Amino acid sequence: MILDTETIKKDFPILDQQINGKTLIYLDNGATTQKPKAVIEAITEYYETTNSNVHRGIHSLSEKATKMYEDSRKAVQKLINAKSDREIIFTKGTTEAINTVAYSWGEANIQEGDEIIVTILEHHSNLVPWQQLCKRKGAKLKTVPLKSDLSLDMEAYKFMLSEKTKLVSFTAISNLTGTILPIKEMTKLAHELGAKVLLDAAQMTGHMPTNVADIDCDFMAFSAHKMLGPTGLGVLYGKEELLEEMSPFQFGGSMVVTVGEQNAVWNDLPWKFEAGTPNIAGVIAFHKALDYLQKIGLDNIREHDKELLAYAKEKFSKYKAVKTYSPENPEIASAALSFTIKGVHPHDIASIFNEENVAIRSGQHCAEPLSKVLGVSATARMSFYLYNDKEDIDRAMEALEKTLEIFKIEN
C-alpha cells in the first residue's frame, strides 16, 4: 500500500476499540470520516485556552481566536487554490453552502423559463434546493442521465445545455457509485453558453487534489467532516466578483458594518455571508485536519483509494450472488463500493456486518432518484479512507461470507 496505514490508524483513537474481541473496521467514510487526535485535541485546547468570540473583542483571547479562525480560512484557500481568502465562506456544511447559492444567487438570477441542470447522481442536498428554487421561479430542472457503464451521459448533457441554462450544479463524485465526473469539461461546456457552475465537492476535497482555478467552477461546496474535520462545518467557495454582487442570505451580527434603526450596511467579503457567531472551535480544528491531509498528500490518498477499490472489487467479483455498482474504469471511480446480495436486503447485510464489527452503510444514501434508476430499492455501501487497508476489506469479506451463510445463499 502507498500509505502506511498501520501508523495512520494509531492517530485515530476511535479505531482502537474492540467489540466481541474484534477490532472496529470503519467503512462508512462516505457518510463521515473519523477524526485524528490532532483535530480532537485542537477542539479541547481551544476551549481550554482561547475560547472567545471572533471579530469582536479587543482582548487578547478574541484577537488570538480571530487570528486562528482567519488562518484556517487561508489554509482552505491554499488547499483548493482559490485566488483570495475573501472567496472562502464558512458554513455549517455542504447543504448550507448550496442553499446559500440557491437563495443569494438563485433568487436574483433565476427567472421564469430559465433552466437549471443537475445530474442523476446528485445527493439530495444538491437536488432539493434546486427543485424548490425552480418551483418558486417557474424555472425548469433538467437531469443528466447515466450510461450503462455508470459514467455520465455527456452527449445528453451537451444536448440539454442551451442559452436557457442559467446554472449547472453537479456533484464531483457520486456518493453511491463513486463515479468521478469530468468536472473541468462540464464546466467549460456550461460556460460556453453563459451558465454558471456549482460543484458539490463533498466527496472530492478529502480524496484528491482540488484546484478551483483549474476547474474554473463559479461556486464550490464541501464539508469539513468528510475530510477528517468536525461536523457542523462546511465551506462555500465562490468567485469574488460573483460573491460581491450577491446579497446575503442570513442577516444578523457580524455580517454588517453599520446598522441604523431602519437600515444596515453589509460587511465585506467573506463576513457578509457569515451571520452570527460561527463554529469557531470547528474552524480552528479543521485547520489541523487540513495539515494532516497535506502531510499525507491528497495525491497519495487518491492512489490509496484506487488500490483499495481494485482489491475490494476483485474480492467481491468472486461471488455470483453479489452485484457491485461501480464504474469499470478505475480512472473514474472513487472510494465507494456499493453492492447488493441477491436474496438479502441491504439492511440485513449491514446488520450482519455490524455483528462482525464492520461498519458499513445501507439504504439509498440520500440519492433516491439514483437508486430508482439503478433499479434497486437500496444498496449496501463500503467507503474507504486513508486509514483503511486490505486487512479491513478482508474483514468485510468475512462478514460477507457470514451473510451468505446465515441467509443460506448458494454461491
Q: Which of 366, 373, 397, 409 is catalytic?
A: 366
- ∠ Cα 274 93 365 (to 5°): 160
Catalytic site includes residue 217: no
Q: Are 273 and 100 in contact (CB under 8 A)?
A: yes
Whichever of 124 and 140 has its CB closer to other proteins, that residue is: 124
Peptide bond into 327 cis (omega under 30): no
Spatial distance between the Cα atoms of 311 and 329, rounded to a whole number of angstroms: 14
Indicate the DSSP class of residue 262. S
Spatial distance between the Cα atoms of 13 and 24, rounded to a whole number of angstroms: 11
Q: Are 176 and 367 in contact (CB under 8 A)?
A: yes
Indicate the DSSP class of residue 333. B
Minimum distance of other proteins from residue 10's CB (angstroms)? 30
Residues 6 or more apart whose CB falls under 8 angstroms from that of 256 comprise: 264, 265, 266, 267
Minimum distance of other proteins from residue 348's CB (angstroms)? 5
Residues 6 or more apart whose CB falls under 8 angstroms from that of 67 comprise: none
Minimum distance of other proteins from residue 162's CB (angstroms)? 33
Minimum distance of other proteins from residue 359's CB (angstroms)? 12
Whichever of 83 and 372 has its CB closer to other proteins, that residue is: 372
Place of cell 477542539: 43
- Name the β-bridge partners of 140: 115
Whichever of 164 and 402 has its CB closer to other proteins, that residue is: 402
Minimum distance of other proteins from residue 327's CB (angstroms)? 22
- Positions in the binding site for other proteins (CB under 8 A): 344-348, 351-352, 355, 362-364, 368, 371, 376-378, 406-408
Q: Are 409 and 53 in contact (CB under 8 A)?
A: no
Whichever of 77 and 125 has its CB closer to other proteins, that residue is: 125
Going by their DSSP bridges, the two strands 234-238 and 219-223 should be labelled as antiparallel
Minimum distance of other proteins from residue 24's CB (angstroms)? 17
* Distance (Å) of CA 299 to CA 3, 116, 204, 209, 302: 11, 33, 12, 6, 5
Whichever of 266 and 407 has its CB closer to other proteins, that residue is: 407
Spatial distance between the Cα atoms of 7 and 11, rounded to a whole number of angstroms: 7
Whichever of 145 and 369 has its CB closer to other proteins, that residue is: 369
State the catalytic residues.
Answer: 366
